[in-house]
Each structure stands twice: as structure tokens, then as C-alpha cells.
Amino acid sequence: MLVIDEEKERKEIIKDYRQLLRLARPRMQKGDDKRIRHAFEMAVEAHKTQRRKSGEPYIHHPIAVAKIVAEDIGLDTNAVICALLHDTVEDTDVTLDQIKREFGETIAKIIDGLTKIDQISHQTLSSQAENYRKILITLSDDIRVILIKIADRLHNMRTLEGVSKKNQIKTASETLYLYAPLAHRLGLYNIKGELEDLAMKYLEPEKYKEIAKLLEDTKRERNKYINDFIKPIADELEKAGLKARVFGRPKSISSIWNKMKKKGVDFDDVYDKFAIRIVLDVPNKEDELSESFKAFSIVTNKYTANDKRFRNNISKPKSNGYESLHTTVMGPKGRWVEIQIRTERMDEVAEKGLAAHFNYKEGKTTVVNTNVYEEATEKWLLQVRELIKNSNENPLDFVNDFKLELYHKEIYVFTPKGEMRLLPIGATALDFAYDIHTNVGNTTIGAKVNNKLVPISYVLNNGDQVEIITSKKTIANEDWLKFVGTSKAKNKIKDALKEEKRRIAEDGKEILYRKLKKQKINQTDENIQALVQFYKVHSPLDLYYLVGTDDKFLNNISDVPNNGGVLEVAKPKSVRKEKLQRAEVDEYKEQQDKAKNLELVIYDNDNQRIPFEYANCCNPIPGDDVSGFLTIDGVIKVHRTSCNNLINLASRHANRIVNTRWKVKEAPFLTKINVTGLDNMGVIAKLTRVISQNMKLNMKSIFLESKDGVFEGYIEVFVRNNDQLKKLLENINNLKGLISAKRELD
């Protein structure tokens, strides 16, 4: 029986609360300490009987979220109060009316938004994509709802050890899919990095541990290099009279892993495992640009800069308010080093994102009011609301489009009058037209970029000046969707297409009714529905549209059987369909028979063995960390836990994740190994000797291609488990002349 020391727990709660007060104090106004105390006491009382899966009192969670809100995001007292109370309405007897009476309309509204998100997240009947869409609708009301929810998610990710593997995958996938991109868009780069690292910890645990250990093992050497690099810079800054903090910051584990995958290199070959940051103390905002460039000059006088890796985000801040000079220089031992130069004010914005400078309308915060950033935030929220309001598309398509825009890098383009517009990299002239106005976009026929005529599909570059050419005779068409990258343009084009389809459908409806009248067929809903089914269209609107686009479509309407004016839809037997169905059944039985001989066991909730297939996208083998996913066809697909497809599927349909485990007995599995080496005589003989003779493994195929004395290719080989694969890779890599042998990544 678990013995609870209530006095010890009470002291720990009080200690936790006092830490929160210290973190919140820099932004507190007169009387705020009493308001926070009141919220704390209400939360303690509401959650007094609740405990987390770890066994600790539940109240530690809202306090932890409030700490993140106060310290990592830097929000005001109202947000701290909302964080303390964010779970009370959803999980306890506290009502929204009670919170409104005690703390006012603003706090009640934010907590209502947070409560709705929790209620949506717990739904299982609707698709996950639809849930995300509902969440985004709620988030768009008040930016603090987004920020507090991100803080809530961060603490849940920090304490994910206590939940089941299935819920770990669900939460981690959802975090990568939605919350990390949101944190990125809001400028919360540290939180975004931690969310991605924590997601990787549960989705790719072995690789996470491997890179974490390598970082720890190389920490001393890395710190020595950083100290040797920054000392001469710090000395020169001091001589120039510039007050500055100069230090190195490690890159996140997930960002290092992404670089390894993207560039196809090992850990040792990733040069930018850290960045050097110079933070200047500049009292006057007017002097920030000039002082930053003084520091830049000192750095580039000492080390040679890579001109292609320079970015000035001070003169042109990002839309989330981020400002900094970025450059990459050649440091000692021939290593490239990334340098970030910014002021203390810019660093505050970079660390805490939009929250660092957002001036709330009730206006009792102590942060500096920088209207340009408030406008940027309001503009973004307005765009989100507009997208949600106007989007009738598939929820999954909507969420994917929205998520892509969260991560985009930006370019600056200009109107003919010199007005600056921010667009994502890859945006076209047509994207620019829709960014100006919907009517401009809908009537675009071409554009002039820097006074040169270009097509609407022209991809814009940073600094381009764009003039849109329009014509009232132009009508948006489906091909335009191929020419745009912004969700705003896509939605506006889809709206225009729907409107055009409705117009054509109205004409088609009149044509259809005339033909029905001529054939003396009643114009009833039943008859229209019979035609819809007979011609295999989705709806009456689609039927009318087909008639409107092809007036000969219903010339053979008399062939449709009717009886006394009532259409009877023919139901001819489809021999081919029956054959297909029999073939699908036979194929499924064959898959079941194969599954019985495979080496993975999948259990449903009743602990019954059920059939499965291995996913072709990641080709799991014994020893890999795997999970199953139930497809709409009722087939279990088994993926490696790190598979990008599984992460996307789990983020949208977490309820269809199925628990798996490997059996002790092992059977051979096919895997692909990518090899690179020097093109010497006998290289194929060496490879096959290691595989066939030394390790007694069977090969399915081998493909090697030589160019300029170096060969590249792959070997498909059957292995029994992950340990055997690791041993094989080790033996191949030990061969003379081999540069690398790696299992093919997802």
C-alpha cells in the first residue's frame, strides 16, 4: 500500500509556488501577487484529489505550466493565472462562471478557449485532422491561448515517461505535427527545439540516445574550441568599447539528426553542432543596427566570412519579430562556425518570441510596446481566422497547408509603389496577386517583375518589385492550384472554382429540367437522385455541372429505364467487380498465411493475435522499434517508430495505433544497404565474401555504379535482426577501400 507523506507534499507544493512567484515578479503590477495567490489556492482546492500518472499531486502540472509561461515565454500576470487554472473547468467542479466572477471576463475567455482545446483533443469519433482544425479555430481568438497551450504541451512532453508507449507515440507525433510548427511561427525557437528533441526521444529513442551520448563525449573538446574561438573576438569587442556577452550554444539533437539525414553524413561530419552568439548591450534602439555591424566587422576581420551565408534580419525582421545578423566564418582547424549578432532587446524577442513584445489591449504589461510586432501578430491571427472561416476543404488538406506555412522561410517583395510584402520562399507572381487582394488574384493574366513581363507561375526572388496585370475576362482555373504555394491563394482559387462551378451548375440545372420535361419525366427529388446514382456522380450539383459543361451529356436520357415517369436505375451485374472482390479476398488470405510465418506479434485490446503487413516505406526488421497502424481497409501496417509516414498517421489517427512486440524466433527480413567506396579491383568479390561466406547471409540483389574512381550503389540482403545488421555493417565498413556502408534511411 502506498504511504503518502501529506506534510512533505504540502511543503513541496509551497516551494514550487514560491519559485513561480519569483519568475512572475518582473512583470507583476501592484496587487498581482494577491491575484496569483487566489488562483493558486483555487487550483490547489480544485485538484486536491487528483494525481498524475507519476503519482505526484496534480497541482504540480499547472504550476509547471505557469512557470514556463512566466520564464520561458515571458507573459504577464493574467497569463500566469490562466495557466494555473487551465485544467479546472475541464477536470474539476470549478465552472467558467465562477472564474469569470473571481477573475473577470478576459481570463474566463482564455480558459474557455483552453478548455475547448482539451475537450477536442479527447474526442475519438471525429478524425484527428478535424480535431486540429477545431483547435486552430480556438487558437485564433487570442494569442495567449496558443502560448499557454504550447507551455502545457511542453510540460506534458517533459513528463511523458509515465504513459503507455501508444500514448507516447500519439503525443510525440501530434507535437511534431502541430505544436512545434506553431512554436516556430511564434518565434519560440528554444521551445520549438525542445519539443522536437522530446518528440525524437520517443519516436527514435535509439538514435536520440546515440547522438546525446556523442554530444556528451565530445563536450570537453567542443567547449575548448568555443573558448579558443571567442576569446580574441571578446578582446576586440572590449577594445572597441562594445559591451557584449559572447558565448556558444549547442544545437538541438533533432536538428543535428536532421542535418545528418539531409546531407547523408555521420555525426563527426556535421560541422555546425553549435553556434556562437554575440549579444550587445545597446541602450538606444536607434544605435542597434550600427553597433551590430561594428561587431560584425570585428568578427570578419578576425575570421574569413562565407559571403553566401550572410543574413541581415535587423534591417528586415522576420514576420514573427526575429532580428539578428547571421554569418558563417572559417574558424581554427578549418571548421565553419555560425555567428549570431544581436542586441539584448533582440535576444529577448528571439528567446521569448512574439510574447516578448506583444502589447495587450488591457495594457498593464511592462514590456516595451513595439507596434510593428503587434501589427505582425494581429495580421497573422487575422490571416488564420480568414483561412479557417473561408476554408471548406478536406480538414486534412487544410491542416497540411496551414502547417507548411508555419515553417516557411520568407522573402521580401515590393509593389510598384514600394510597399513591402512578406511571402514564403517559392511564392509565385500569382501568390503575390492574391496577397494584394482576392479580386486582383482572380483576374490575373500575367505580371511584370523588375519591369520584365513574366507568367503568373514565375517564382519570386528576394527584393523583386512586382506589378500584376489583370483582365476582367480572366477566370480562375484548376491549373492555377499548381502555381501557388500559400494557403491563402489556394483557398481563394478554390473558392473561385466553386463559385464558377455553381454558376455552370445553375445553367446545367435548367438544361436538365428542360430535357426531363421533354421526356415527360417528373422533376422530383427521387428522380434527380436516381440520375445521380445512375451516372455515378457525388451530388445533384455535380450532375448539373456535367450537364452545364456538356449539353450532349443527357442526349440518351431515354435509355434510362422509367415507369410512369419514375426513373428506375439499372443495376447490371458486374462480373469484373465480382472477380475483383474474389481476387481481393484471395490476396488477403494469402497475406494472412504469410503473416503467420512472420516474426512480429500484434495484439488488439482483447489480447488476440491479428494479421498484419510490413510497411514498404520503412521496411522494419527484427530489433527495430516498431508500431502497427490500422488502415481503413482493416489491415495492420507495421512501421518503424521513426518512420515519417507513421508519425504523420499517428498525429492524425492516434486511436488506430496498435501495440506490437517481436517474437523470440527470428526469420530473415529484406533490408537495403547503401555503399560508397573506391573503385578498386575485386571490390564486389570482397563485399560478397563478407555477406555470403563470412556471415552466411543471402543477397537478393546488388547494384554498383562507378564514376571518377568512386563507386556508389546498394545491396539488398536478408538479415534476421537489427544486431545482425549492425554486425554486417561493421564488417563491410572494415573492408579496405570502403568509404561508408549504411542502412537506407526513411
Q: Which residues are catalytic?
A: 90-91
Among residues 675, 694, 688, 683, which one has the least CA distance to residue 740? 675
CA 127 to chain CA centroid, nearest Å: 18
Collapsing DSSP to helix, strand or coil, 305 comes out as: strand
Tell which phi-psi region holds residue 444, choosing left (phi > 0), alpha (psi between -120 and 50) or beta: beta
CA distance 66 to 151: 8
For cell 566570412, what's the residue?
A: 305
CA-to-CA separations, 400 to 45, 387, 396, 424, 651, in angstroms, rounded: 41, 13, 6, 15, 12
Collapsing DSSP to helix, strand or coil, 105 comes out as: helix
Identify residue 572 by its one-letter amino acid code.
P
CB 343 within 8 A of CB 282: yes
Collapsing DSSP to helix, strand or coil, 491 comes out as: helix
DSSP letter (8 states) at residue 178? I
Cell of 655: 486511436
CA distance 305 to 314: 19
Cell of 502: 455553381
CA distance 639 to 629: 8
Sign of CA dihedral 277, 280, 285, 286: negative
For the beta carbon of residue 550, count every other beta carbon within 10 angstroms.
12
Among residues 283, 261, 282, 279, which one has the least CA distance to residue 270? 261
CA 398 to chain CA centroid, nearest Å: 13
3-state secondary structure 36-104: HHHHHHHHHHHCCCCECCCCCECCHHHHHHHHHHHHHHCCCHHHHHHHHHCCHHHHCCCCHHHHHHHHC
Among residues 512, 591, 496, which one has the least CA distance to residue 549? 512
Phi and psi at residue 305, in whole multiples of 5°?
Answer: -90, 150
708-713 contacts at long range (C-beta below 8 A, 24 or more positions apart): 709/678, 709/679, 710/676, 710/677, 710/678, 710/679, 710/739, 711/675, 711/676, 711/677, 711/678, 711/679, 711/683, 712/674, 712/675, 712/676, 713/674, 713/675
DSSP letter (8 states) at residue 459? B
Collapsing DSSP to helix, strand or coil, 708 comes out as: coil
CA distance 638 to 126: 23
Count the residues in the chain. 746
CA distance 460 to 401: 20
Interacting residues of 95 by C-beta distance below 8 A, sequence separation 6+: 89
Collapsing DSSP to helix, strand or coil, 666 comes out as: coil
Q: Where are the beta strands (DSSP E) in 347-451?
A: 410-414, 420-424, 444-449
